[in-house]
Every structure is written in C-alpha cells, then in structure tokens.
Amino acid sequence: MRHLLGGAAIMAIVAGSALPAAAQDALTLQLKWVTQAQFAGYYVAEAKGYYDEANLDVTINPGGPDVAPTQVIAGGGADVVIDWMPSALAAREKGVSLVNIAQPFARSGMQLTCRKDSGIASPADFKGKTLGVWFSGNEYPFLSWMSKLGVSTEGGPEGVTVIRQGFNVDPLIQKQADCISTMTYNEYWQVIDAGIPAEDLVVFNYTDEGVATLEDGLYVLEANLGDAANVDKYARFVTASMKGWQYAKEHPDEAAQIVLDNDTTGAQTIEHQTRMMTEVAKLLGDNAKLDVAAAEGTVKVLMGGGSDPVITKQPEGAWSSAVTDKAGAM
C-alpha cells in the first residue's frame, strides 16, 4: 500500500508540473517623451527581468511631440502614464480623473537657457524677448512663472513672444529665440554640444526661481484605484520599476546601452544617453513616495497665476499613497 501511495504522489507531482504557469498581469506604460535615459529605470526593469519577477507583462510605449499622456490614458491606451504634475492637475480640473500614485523624480530638471549676447542677465530682462516653450502640458510651469513676474505672453515691448518649441535646440542656435526651454539632463547639453560654451549662456533654473513643479510622476485613473487587484498590480509595478532605477543609477553605462537597445529610431547615441543617465540620477528620490509638501508647492505655483492661473481650485484626491504604502509592505 505504501508503494501505491508513493506512485500516486509521483503522478500528482507530474500532473502539477504540467499545469500552465499563471498568466502575468498585463500593464501598459505610456512614456511622456521618446525613448531615452529619462525613462531608463523602466527599460532596465524590463531588461533585467524585474517585471517578470513581479508577475507583470509590461508594454512600454514611447511618447513624442504629438503624444499627450493624459489623452492616451483617457482614451484607454495605457494603464499608467508618466507625466508632469502641472499637466496632470490641469487635465484633472478639465475632467480627466488622474491620480498620482508614485513620484520617482523628487526634483525638477526644468530650465530656461538664454544666450548671453541677447542681453538677458535676469528675469527682468525678459520683456521684449522671444522665448521658446514646449507645449502639450509642458507650458504650464512657464506660464505660471511669467504670470508671477507680471509679464504678458502676448508679445510687445512689455511682454514676451512665445514660440512653440520643437524637440531640438535650433531656435537658440539659429538665434530665432533669445531663450529656450531645456532640461538639465538633455537639451542643455545639446546646446553645449552644438558649440555654444557654458560661459556664453545664462541659465534660469525653475527651482532657483521658486516656480519648480513635480515632473515624471506615475499616474492612473482614479476609478481604477477602487479595485484592490489593480492597487496590487500597480504596487508590484512601482517596486520593480524602482529596482530598475536603482540599478540604472549604479550602472549608468549599462543603463544607457539598454535604452539604446530599445530605441527604434536610431537617433540616440551612447555618449548622450550615458550623460543623460548621470544627470537624471541627480533628480531621483530615495524612493517613489510622493512628497506631499512638494505636491502642495506645485499646486501653489499653478494657482499663483494671477488672473489666468493654470488651475483655479485646490485639487482633491489628486494623489494617493495607497500604491506606495502597499509597495513598501512588499
């Protein structure tokens, strides 16, 4: 009898091993911009198998100049989007119920970079000048800043002329603009590489000017947070992603190569991506938990727009710690 039971046990083990593995939970992430080291942590998490370990099947969709993450998620094209808080809060006030569930980037990299030969030495010199600005939600911190300064964005000698900036630095190089928007980890270095040395530039960092807002947070639709299964999935995603970010910080060369491996355009170079990764690492927080004080500071900047604020009322429910609290317990 003992022999027969042993055989039955073996049969059970064999049958169990033949069962298919549990299906991974699918999750689509929409990036704010094109494939580059700004998003290295997510690509590293995929390449290193961190998402697989978290039982996730993650699809990473690159963005671009014509891609607005808020519109993508509102249309059902993504489960999680990376966006700047000004854009997310503006969309929320307009009816897209975005909620910040995690904030990997603790510091802002936003700058306005000007040619010194334009005569601009301080914000007081902006009047009468032409400034390049990104749109699709990226214009909100700039508009709040100009409103704080009391400078019209409609042009004229007492205002500034705003041009819609593309994804290059040509307006500054070709003197079509006196200043352009740059990030500490990307466009600023493109200007340097284009032959304008740092000593010929004047840089206004949004943090130094008191108008910095939170960037590159993770957002989901509020309705989806009501499902415990979704919260669990988001928590596993955040945990795996931060593991990817930590690896990227410690191995910037390898992270840059992983980014290149995912760049289907062939437009990126290993030198630029490695430098970008090094600069991005300076903006990352120690964890993905949102600093509520920083979020409230972002709201204050956006509501401080004088007669034309970016948002008109204090947002309620615009961020939640449910996901990072669960991720921290894993």
What is the structure's pLDDT at 272?
A: 96
Condensed to tens digits (0 to 9), the pLDDT of residues 70-127 reads 999 999 999 999 999 999 999 999 999 999 999 999 999 999 999 999 999 999 999 9
Q: Are strands 56-61 and 80-83 parallel, antiparallel or unpaired?
A: unpaired
Question: What domains sit in the chain, N to C, each tagged with a CATH number?
Answer: 25-107+214-328 (3.40.190.10), 110-205 (3.40.190.10)
Q: Is the pTM of this model over 0.85?
A: yes
Condensed to tens digits (0 to 9), the pLDDT of residues 149-205 reads 999 999 999 999 999 998 789 999 999 999 999 999 999 999 999 999 999 999 999
Assigned token pair, 30: 């929409």
What is the structure's pLDDT at 44?
A: 98
What is the structure's pLDDT at 271?
A: 96
167-192 in b/e form (b: 16+ CB < 10 A) is eebebbbeeebbbbbbbbbbbbbbbe
User: Which band of pLDDT confidence, cut at 50, 70 and 90, is reported for residue 8?
Assistant: very low
Percentage of the residues of the chain whose pLDDT score is greater than 90:
82
Question: Are 68 and 137 within 8 A, CB to CB?
Answer: yes
Condensed to tens digits (0 to 9), the pLDDT of residues 137-165 reads 788 889 889 988 999 999 999 999 999 99
What is the structure's pLDDT at 21?
A: 56
